[in-house]
Structure 1
Amino acid sequence: MTVFDDLVGQAQATAVLSRAAAAGAEAVAGGRGAGMTHAWLFTGPPGSGREEAARAFAAALLCPDGGCGHCDQCHQVMIGSHPDLEAVRPQGLSYSVKQTRELILRAAGAPTQGRWRVILFEDADRATESAANALLKAIEEPPPRTVWLLCSPSPDDLMITIRSRCRVVTLATPSTEAVAHVLATRDSVPHDMARFAARASQGHISRARRLALDEGVRRRREAVLAIPPSLTGVGECVSAAERLVKTAEEEAGVATAALNETETSELRKIYGEGSSGKGLNRGLVRGGAGALKELEDRQKSRATRIKRDSLDEALLELVAYYRDVLAMQFGASVELANDDHRFELDRLAQSSTPEETLRRIDTIMRCRERLEANVNPQIAVEAMMLGLRRP
């Protein structure tokens, strides 16, 4: 068993990465290392396992046996504690130039264990334009033995000058059978539930796992899928939008509350809280207040990102719903993501035209674009609901 065995349905990518890891070991030993490069870009649709593939590749580079999957090096990479691995995941809406410059400084250090210094940058597409320019300079002139692993849904999400300097690894959406097998064998999910979760998630592995193991996630999915038949009037559209946005806000609050409290408490201790009131005041005057304000801004940005991600997940559920309607209208012999709602799908397919279904899908995608452009979520979702009622 190797670290690449956990990549579901990615045989082609696994072969490329295995050969590159072998070339990397050759380079470490003083050879040419043909096939190994200093910058990689992992792309693929949501749920395809971009970050998992990048982390497995990092383990293969740092492991003396090319990613055996059972040594201390592999274990440390997988849990994120390896000293030569710097893993970054933007928590907020974007990744600033200041954060990028700090990352580049950390990346400049030599590997402590003599192999590689690996920088795993998840969601690299969230880097601002200034941050991307700073990142470009680091990729153009990397320190010896430093490897950048960037992750992004699409190569087009990054500056062309960055992606042109990276070797691109494109991941595919795993099949329903592959995802169901993983759930059944690794998570002990009953076969019927594994099959349902794999189909409903459309190959999104982490989403399938949450669907299979969390009843709350299944309830939220049912609430989203109940929206199309409920849009019988303007009032119902506004109510549906309010429920969707409120649910996203509640999820963001639950996800961030405990973490925010811990971060704020730790920062206050650094600036003197607990020693004396005067110590705290002096600390805050000397920079603590500014640090606290910066932390609060990051926390708000993180909450907004989680809220957007939650909303986007619901919108993609709706896209899948109408995609199933369109498939039924054309009589396409494809697997329906929402086969458990076949009766409602068939009724909508019979009462509307393919053109109307396509316009509804366009309405949802337009809402996603508006949310990404920072349009007020309530307004954007209300407009979408009205569009779904009358495309």
Structure 2
Amino acid sequence: MEYWSEIVGQPEAVRALDDAAALDVTPSHAWLITGPPGSGRSNLAFRFAAALISRGQDREAVYKQVRARTHPDLGVLTTQKLLIDIKAARDIVTTAHYSPAEGRYRVIVIEDADRMPERTSNVLLKALEEPPERTIWILCAPSEADLLPTIRSRARSLRLVTPSAADVARLLHERDGIDAGAAERAARLAQSHIGMARRLASDPDSLARRDRTISIALGVQTLGDGMRAAASLVKVAEADAAAITESLDAREREDALRSLGLPPGAAIPPQMRSQIRALEEDQKRRSTRSLRDGIDRILTDLLSLFRDVLLTALRADPELINRENEAAIAELADRWGPERSLVVVSAVETARERLGRGITPALVLEALFATQSTAAALAPAELSLGGNR
């Protein structure tokens, strides 16, 4: 099935969606696609959306429009904020009642459906209870537990798995033309997260920032080291977020000016300033979210490092994620032992949970490295008596 060739490591899901999108089948009116970050939830959702809209031989042409978010029969609900607000949900529900303009169905994709608070979810629930005849909803979330039971019960669920690093590397090599060795390293370091693997393989700056993250963490021994490491990694995350958003912000501003009939660099008439201000506010929210996402990526990288240390300390003969740092990992495992290593792994997991609750990223990292430096100084007996409280 060449149309689905970009979808990695999800053969059962692809078969189910391809069958559901067949011309002689009436598909379920709502779908819930769940899977871990990097499993390809959004890519699969938009491929499925194009297949549902398509009338047969035009799948690829429809997908190009769907990917660009320009197809008239596609609606997308997403957010640059931490939560999807109720007004955005009401607006998209209103469009659900429009008849398809060109395709077989009108399809509405909700990315990050787990970001809907209960009030917002209830707006969607009403639309799912009384679905328009030719509208199909596709919701994406990390797990079914992230949505209200009443919404889960009204959607057909499709669970994705984490693709293997070998599958991700093969995709990068065959589709993007990336050297096989570089593709293998990127897929391994990204822990099979497809989007991150592509960035690490194609952007030397992204790979250098990850290498710096690991180097900084390996250098923490004292509390002072930890506080300096926290400050440095916030700067790493800020640089990563800026790399993602700056070119996108400039392109969006240029497009907005063009749509208003203004050449690049022209003065903005007073009556048009509110539209540009709204764009700038959206971009500021995206920048904030990108920074938090960058901190979470750093924490994911640190978790991979300290799990490597823990497994090495346990003499588990692990296949290291951070193979390039094998000597430093072995030295740290000998110095910490399993008890200290487990304390630090738990501290990273706690840091990710705190970040998800909206705690300031700098404070999250400072608390993590304070725990790391303290754990490194304590004896195993002290740890068991509460050193990780």
Q: TM-score, structure 1 length as denominator?
A: 0.87
Q: In structure 2, what is the equivalent of residue 299 of structure 1? A: 283
Q: In structure 2, what is the equivalent of residue 12 of structure 1? A: 12
Matched AA of 1:377: P
1:66-145 pair list within 5 angstroms: 71-145=60-134
Instruction: Give, in whole Å, the separation in 2 of the partners of 1:70 and 1:163.
Output: 29
1:49-64 pair list within 5 angstroms: 49-64=40-55
More divergent stretch after superposition (245-254 vs 377-386): 245-254
Deviations 1:333-374 (A, max 9, x none): 543211111111111111122232222111112112222222
**Gap change, CA 1:238 and 1:123, over 3 Å in 2:** same
Deviations 1:145-189 (A, max 9, x none): 111111111111112211121111111111121111111111111
1:328, distance to aligned residue in structure 2 (A): 1.7
Deviations 1:274-314 (A, max 9, x none): 9xxxx955x48xxx65x666555433322110000001000
What CA RMSD, in Å, does the superposition of the two structures yield over aligned residues? 2.5
Q: Secondary structure at the match of 1:149?
A: strand
Instruction: Give, in whole Å, the separation in 2 of the partners of 1:323 and 1:58.
Output: 38
Q: Secondary structure at the match of 1:6?
A: coil
Q: Secondary structure at the match of 1:115?
A: coil
Q: Secondary structure at the match of 1:360?
A: helix
**Gap change, CA 1:350 and 1:71, over 3 Å in 2:** closer
Q: In structure 2, what is the equivalent of residue 46 of structure 1? A: 37
- 5+ residue gaps in structure 2? 376-389
Task: Indicate yes or no: 2:362 matched with 1:378.
Answer: yes
Instruction: Give, in whole Å, the separation in 2 of the partners of 1:201 and 1:366.
Output: 21
1:379, distance to aligned residue in structure 2 (A): 1.7
Instruction: Give, in whole Å, the separation in 1 of the partners of 2:363 and 2:326.
Output: 31
Q: In structure 2, what is the equivalent of residue 337 of structure 1? A: 321
1:1-391 pair list within 5 angstroms: 1-22=1-22, 25-27=23-25, 33=26, 36-65=27-56, 71-257=60-246, 259-260=248-249, 280=269, 283=271, 295-391=279-375
Instruction: Give, in whole Å, the separation in 2 of the partners of 1:17 and 1:264.
Output: 37
1:262, distance to aligned residue in structure 2 (A): 6.4
Q: How many residues align?
A: 371
- 5+ residue gaps in structure 1? 28-32
Deviations 1:29-69 (A, max 9, x none): xxxx3xx211111111111100111112112212223xx68
Q: TM-score, structure 2 length as denominator?
A: 0.87
Conserved in 2, the CA contact under 8 Å of 1:93 and 1:304?
no
Conserved in 2, the CA contact under 8 Å of 1:273 and 1:280?
no
1:247, distance to aligned residue in structure 2 (A): 2.3
Q: Identity across aligned pairs (percent)? A: 39
Deviations 1:49-93 (A, max 9, x none): 00111112112212223xx68642243334433221123331222
Conserved in 2, the CA contact under 8 Å of 1:271 and 1:280?
no
More divergent stretch after superposition (243-252 vs 375-384): 243-252
Matched AA of 1:141: E
